[in-house]
Structure 1
Amino acid sequence: MGGLLHLGVAIDQPHAYDAGAYVELARLAERGGLDFVTLDGAFAGPGLDTAGVLARVAPETSRIGLVPAVTAVAGREPGAVAGLDWVSGGRAGLLTHGVDAPGPLPADPVCCVDVTDRQPASLAARHADVALVRAVSAAHAAELRGQLAARAAEYGRDPREIRVLASLRVDLGDGERAAEPGHGGGGPRPTAQGPLYRGGPVDLAELIAVWHAEGAVDGFHLLPVEPRRDLERLVNGTVAVLQHRGLFRTFYPGGTLREHL
């Protein structure tokens, strides 16, 4: 399925503990045909049971992938994700920023690795179905992709098995205005929290289309600065433009997260 554009989005909401708040955003993302949503307790709020919340989201959605962050490869987290995979009908994944314990990752569900330093990069090369990279230009993303591909080959994997997505914070507060200098065509702006795009949905669609066409990435994992505002503009603006141009799906051909990827 190489060549398809893949899009995921974070639905973290600070201080939101009611599952209903996450159901609303997951449904919106599903309406746009996105591959998956992620939920990371580190951003949503301390003590949030990400897998538990998404297990409550599962029956309120039907196609979109549900990917909670986990902190270990052993213990209750993978078990909870396995339960999520069951209740969602094969739509679960797990997002990890590294490993806290030795041992293999679960064979299922889909494994997403946030590649930010050497240890997660090695983990991604061995196990990831999806690798999230932080890049400030298409050339930078292509360089990171090449490094990951080389490492995956060292472990005997076909690098084409790994979907490489650029992790990008997005601030669409300016509506239809063009991207601010240093945020759009020249690549997103580097910040302490990661690459940031600030501008309008249409220019964001162009950035996504260009990076994907150049083969730098397979898609993007988007992190809205203002979840409710920005996700609505992503779906009704950015994604709609990509769909109109024939670059992104208008329906889900399959029912599981692996089929989306």
Structure 2
Amino acid sequence: MPVTTPLHLAAEIGGPHGFDPARYVALARLAESGTLDFVTLGDSFARPGLDALAVLSRVAPATERIGLVPTVTTTHTEPFHVSSAVATLDWVSRGRAGWQADVSGTGAEARLFGRRPAAPAADLWHEAAEVADVAARLWDSWEDDAEVRDVATGRFIDRDKLHYVDFQGRGFSVRGPAIVPRPPQGHPVVVIDATAEVSREAAAAHADVVLVRTDEPGKAAAVRADVRRRATAHGRDPDALRVFVALTVDLGDAESAPEPGLESGPLLAGGGSYYRGGPVDLADLITEWHQGGVVDGFHLTPIAPERDLERLVNGTATLLQHRCLLRRFYPGATLREHLGLARPANRYALVGGHA
């Protein structure tokens, strides 16, 4: 039986290092014209480049509907600062922020900070899960109506509606409350790549969108089932997870030679398995996998961002819209609404009282 759940699409707008904000704005607007759920911007301490979160804060006022998801490395960074920065992006984008949690595992990256040596991947992902946990608690540390803004009395905040989170993790502790009011979405969307077993528990416990790097439908379906099972064990509703296959795509349609080093389709910097073909073939692949119930959506990293994103939007996405698989307009304003996710309740706000 064909799947009737909505198809979700997202795209990476990174690529060759660039310092012109107009480029990122143009790519995000192009993706928005195709009603993609969100764009991502990769980041890493292992390479030079602009800070992804800051770049997307620049893109935010130049776009209207598309979600904005920077990579944020949780290793060597302060959880309180991560929470504040992502909340700020949600405010400046009016509820369209997310963040892709990632870790930093090399000795060279550790030496950039000089705080501690590199740690095993399992420890880094345990820490990443704790950062995601405390970030959500800090976002909840302000109730939605904590701001009074009463000029007559001079009261700005109802202090009874601010809460200490008193979080104690394995490697850090945070008392709170936050310094940024609760974000418009309540909790900005959390994205985690769960391809590797070591990151899967963090994804199951805290992610809203789970990425899987594979070109095999069976593997994607297996990871999806595994993450949903683990999410259930954490007391979460597995139907509130969105699982995306991550593919790096070359939509040159064999009209020219592949970029140097891409002749055999290796794993690329964008993190996805390699796909080379035309926009129509990509639409057929997406249709088959989605209608087969393998995944909820696709995250696509273009080899040549300007060329391939244009072909994705005006070719692949248009065909998917014609097949009534992809929406033609945004029904809501926030990233959570694009993904069909509810706004989380505040854990500290109780009916008829306060925590």
- After TM superposition, the score normalised by the length of structure 1 is 0.89
How far apart are residue 105 of structure 1 and its match? 4.9
Give how far 1:146 is off: 0.8
Q: Distance in 2 between matches of 1:43 and 1:14?
A: 16
Deviates more, 1:78-87 or 1:211-220: 78-87
Q: What is the match of residue 204 of structure 1?
A: 282
Asked if 1:168 is matched to 2:247, the reply is yes
- Which of 143-152 and 45-54 deviates more? 45-54
1:135 aligned residue: 214
Unaligned runs of 5+ in 1: 178-188
The correspondence for 1:106, drawn from 135, 139, 143, is 135
Residue 168 of structure 1 contacts residue 196 of structure 1 at CA under 8 Å; is this kept in 2? yes
Q: Any idea what SS the aligned residue of 1:191 has?
A: coil
Q: Structure 1 residue 228 and structure 2 residue 306: aligned?
A: yes
**Separation of aligned partners in 2, 1:116 and 1:75:** 27
Instruction: Please say if residues 11 and 38 of structure 1, whose CA atoms lie closer than 8 Å, have aligned partners that are also in contact.
Output: yes
One-letter amino acid matched to 2:209: V
Partner letter of residue 73 of structure 2?
T
Q: Are the aligned partners of 1:15 and 1:44 in contact in 2 as well (CA < 8 Å)?
A: no
Where does 1:71-86 land on structure 2 (aligned, <5 Å)?
A: 71-72=73-74, 74-86=79-91
Write the letter of the residue equivalent to 2:323. Answer: R
Question: Structure 1 CA distance, aligned partners of 2:28 and 2:251?
Answer: 18
Structure 2 match to 1:192: 267
Match of 1:55 in 2: 57
Q: Which amino acid aligns with 2:267?
A: A
**Which of the two has higher C-alpha Rg?**
2
Q: Secondary structure at the match of 2:16?
A: coil
Q: Secondary structure at the match of 1:42?
A: coil
| Cα displacement string for residues 195-238 of structure 1 (whole angstroms, at most 9, x for unaligned residues) | 11100000000000110001100010000011111000000110
Quote the sequence identity (%).
Answer: 55
Q: 1:51-106: per-residue Cα shift (whole Å, max 9, x none)?
A: 11101101110000000000117142332111110000000000013445544153
Distance 1:47 1:197, change over 3 A: closer
Residues paired across the two proteins, number: 249
Cα root mean square deviation, aligned: 2.1
Is contact 1:12-1:43 (8 Å) kept? Answer: no
Structure-to-structure mapping, 1:21-36, within 5 angstroms: 21-36=23-38
Q: Which segments of 5 or more consecutive residues in structure 2 lack a partner in the other structure?
A: 104-124, 137-186, 257-263, 340-355
1:90 correspondence with 2:95: yes
Looking at structure 1, the residues matched to 305 and 241 of structure 2 have their Cα atoms a distance apart, in angstroms, of 27
TM-score (norm. length: structure 2): 0.66
Pair 1:247 & 2:325 matched: yes
SS in structure 2 opposite 1:38? strand
State the Cα distance separating 1:13 from its structure 2 match: 2.7
Distance 1:58 1:141 in 2: 32
1:116 aligns with 2:195: yes
Task: Classify the secondary structure of the residue corresponding to 2:44.
Answer: helix
What is the CA–CA distance in structure 2 between the aligned matches of 1:58 and 1:217, rounded to whole Å? Answer: 28
SS in 2 for 1:16: coil
Counterpart secondary structure, 2:135: coil
Q: Give the Å deviation of 1:190.
A: 7.0
Q: Secondary structure of 1:41's match?
A: coil
Question: In the alignment, which residue of structure 2 is the partner of 1:150?
Answer: 229
Distance, in Å, in 2 between the alignment partners of 1:29 and 1:198 is 20
Cα distance in structure 2, aligned partners of 1:17 and 1:257 = 26
Q: Is the 8 A contact 2:18 2:49 kept in 1?
A: no
What is the rounded CA distance, in whole Å, between the counterparts of 1:4 and 1:86 in structure 2?
A: 27
